[in-house]
Amino acid sequence: MSSCIVWFRHDLRLADNPALAAAVQTGLPIVPVFILDDATPGVRGPGAASRWWLHHSLAALDADLRKRGSRLVLRRGPAETVLADLVAASGATAVHWNRLYEIAARERDARIKQALAERGIVATSHKANLLFEPWEVKTGAGDPFKVFTPFWRACRQLPPPERPLPAPDRLAAPAAWPASDALEAWRLLPRTPDWAGGLRDSWNPGEASAHRRLEDFVDDTLARYRDERDLPARAGTSRLSPHLAFGELSPRQVWHAATAREPSAATEKFLAEVGWREFCNNLIFHFGNLAENNFRADFDAFPWAAEDAKVEAWRRGRTGYPIVDAGMRELWTTGWMHNRVRMIVASFLAKDLMVDWRVGERWFWDTLVDADPANNPAGWQWVAGSGADAQPYFRIFNPVLQGEKFDPDGAYVRHWVPEVARLPAQAVHKPWTARSQVDPAYPLPIVDHAQARDRALAAFRSLKQEP
C-alpha cells in the first residue's frame, strides 16, 4: 500500500497548510513527519529559545494530528538521508512540503526533489509561508526590488492573497507507522538550569493559541496599532511573530483576519509590517546568505571594534542606558523584545559600540522565540546600515531621546530595570544625573553616547572615502 509523506518544516499547522491539503487530496494514507535537521551545512538550526518553542509546538501539532486519527513522526539528521529512509520504510510514492526561502534550505530541497525523482517519487513544494512568492514581485525592468516601499506597492497591485484553506477533518493513517523519535529525547527544553520560566509565563506555543492571539489582536488592539505600536510599555503590537516564525499561523490567515474589518490607517500600517516580512524573504531569496554577508559589499571594509566586555554588558542588560538594558532583559527573560526597542539595542551595538552586526544577530538568533531566517538578518543589516534600503548613516539612535520619546513615563524601563524604578520621569532614562536615587549596583554608561556617535560617524565617513 503506498502512502504520501507530508514534511512539516516552518509550517507547524493543520489549517491553511497547502502541502497537507494536497496530500489529503491524493486519498493516500498520510505520514506527517518533522525532521530536526541540524546536520545539513548552511541550514541554520534553531537557537536555544526557539528550541523551547519548537518542543511545545511539535507537541501541539502531534496532539492535533492525533485528534484526526494521525500522528507526527519525528526524525533527526540530514533531511536528505532521513527522507530517503522514510520513503523506503513507508512505501511513500509522493512527498509534499511548503517552501522555504533561504539559499541553503532551497538548495537542499532541490537536491531532495531530484533524488526522489530519480526513484520515481514525486516531490511537490507549495506556496504557504508568504503572501507573494519572491519571483512574482518584480520591478518594471524585471529585477527584484531592493527598496521596501516600491516593493510593497507592487505587491498590493497583485491579486490579493487567496482565502485560507480549512484544516482537514481526518487524515488517513498508514497500515503501519514508521519509527519515530521521542520528542523528549531531543532535549529541546532547558534542564540545568531551567531558564524557561519567563518563556512559559509569556507564551503559549501551538496552532490553537496562535489563533486566539490573532483574534484577540484583531478585536482589541489592531484599531490602536498605528498609535501604540511604538510604545513598549503598551501591549500595542500583535505579538504574532513567533507563531508566524514557526508557521502556526499563515500570513494569509493574518491578512484575511486583519482585512475583515473596515479598511483603516491602522490596518494598512499593520499590513505593511506583514509586508516587511515579505520583503525580508524577498531579500534572502534573491541576494544570498544575508546572515553572513553584508548586503552592501562596501561594508566589508567597515572597521568593526572588538569589545568583548562591552558586548557582554549589552547581552546582560548592563550598559547603563535603561532603555537598552530593559530591552535586553526583556529578551533574556521572555524570548522576545518590542520592535522599537530592538532598533534601539541594535543601533547601540552596531553604532555606539561599533560591534559587527553579526554578533548581535547571532545573539538574537539564540535568544528570540521568533528568530526568523529572513527577518533577523535583514533587520540587523538595516539598522547597521549594511542592508537593503539602508537608512542614512548619520541616523544613530540616541538611547536617552528614544527612551523619553517612546517610554515617556518610564513604565517600561521601571519594569525591567528596577534599579532605576524610583527615579522621576525626567531622570529615568539618564540615571547618571540622579545617582542618589539609583541602586548603586546599576552601572554607569559603558560608553558616552555623544563620543560614540562621533566615532561611528567618522567610521562611516571613512567607508565612503574608500576607493
Partner DNA sequence: TTTTGAGTTGTTCGA
Partner DNA sequence: GTCGAACAACTCAAA
- Compute the least distance from the CB of residue 158 to DNA, in Å: 12
- Compute the least distance from the CB of residue 394 to DNA, in Å: 4
Q: Does the active-site annotation cover 357?
A: yes
Nearer to DNA, 151 or 364 (CB): 151
Nearest CA-CA partner of 447 in 300, 347, 297: 347
Give the amino acid at 352. D
Instruction: Give, as ranges, the residues between 376 and 415 that touch DNA (CB under 7 A).
Output: 379, 382-383, 389, 391-398, 401-402, 405
- Compute the least distance from the CB of residue 122 to DNA, in Å: 36
Nearer to DNA, 120 or 467 (CB): 467
Q: Is 193 in the site for DNA (CB under 7 A)?
A: no
Q: Does the active-site annotation cover 276?
A: yes
Q: Is 453 in the site for DNA (CB under 7 A)?
A: yes
Instruction: Give, as ranges, the residues between 80 and 139 that touch DNA (CB under 7 A).
Output: 139
Q: Which of 314, 357, 363, 382 is catalytic?
A: 357
Identified binder of DNA from the candidate list 124, 180, 293, 339, rule CB under 7 A:
339
- Compute the least distance from the CB of residue 10 to DNA, in Å: 20
Task: Name the DSSP letter for residue 209.
Answer: H
Contacts of 53 (CB under 8 A, 6+ apart): 46, 199, 203, 205, 242, 246, 335, 369
Q: Give dist(CA 364, CA 385) in Å, integer.
A: 18
Q: Is 148 in the site for DNA (CB under 7 A)?
A: yes
Give exposure, 126-143, as e/b (b: 16+ Cβ within 10 Å). bbbbbbbebeebeeeeee
Q: Is 270 in the site for DNA (CB under 7 A)?
A: no
Q: Does the active-site annotation cover 382?
A: no
Q: Does the active-site annotation cover 107?
A: no
Question: DSSP characters for 176-192?
Answer: SPPP---GGGG--S--S
User: Which helix (H) or strand (E) element contains residue 335?
Assistant: none
- Compute the least distance from the CB of residue 203 to DNA, in Å: 22
Q: Is 230 in the site for DNA (CB under 7 A)?
A: yes
Question: DSSP characters for 125-160?
Answer: EE--S-SS-GGG---TTSPPP-SHHHHHHHHHHSPP
Q: Give the length of the chain.
A: 467
Q: How many CB atoms lie within 10 A of CB 286?
A: 17
Q: Is 273 in the site for DNA (CB under 7 A)?
A: yes
Q: How many CB atoms lie within 10 A of CB 238?
A: 22
The half-sphere exposure of 80 on its side-chain side, counting CA atoms within 13 A, is 17
Q: Does the active-site annotation cover 273?
A: yes
Q: Does the active-site annotation cover 380?
A: yes
Give the amino acid at 188. L
Nearer to DNA, 122 or 458 (CB): 458
Nearer to DNA, 13 or 338 (CB): 338
Which three three-digit cell numbers place residue 264?
483603516
Q: Is 467 in the site for DNA (CB under 7 A)?
A: no
Q: Is 340 in the site for DNA (CB under 7 A)?
A: yes
- Compute the least distance from the CB of residue 81 to DNA, in Å: 39
Which three three-digit cell numbers place residue 4?
504520501
Nearer to DNA, 68 or 224 (CB): 224
The answer to whether the beta carbons of residues 360 and 346 sit under 8 Å apart is: yes
Q: Give dist(CA 167, CA 458) in Å, integer.
A: 56
Q: Is 140 in the site for DNA (CB under 7 A)?
A: yes
| Beta strands at 122-126 and 92-98: parallel, antiparallel or unpaired | parallel
What positions carry a catalytic annotation?
Answer: 273, 276, 304, 339, 357, 380
Q: Which residues bind DNA (CB under 7 A)?
A: 139-141, 143, 145-151, 153-154, 230, 272-273, 276, 339-340, 343, 379, 382-383, 389, 391-398, 401-402, 405, 449-450, 453, 461, 464
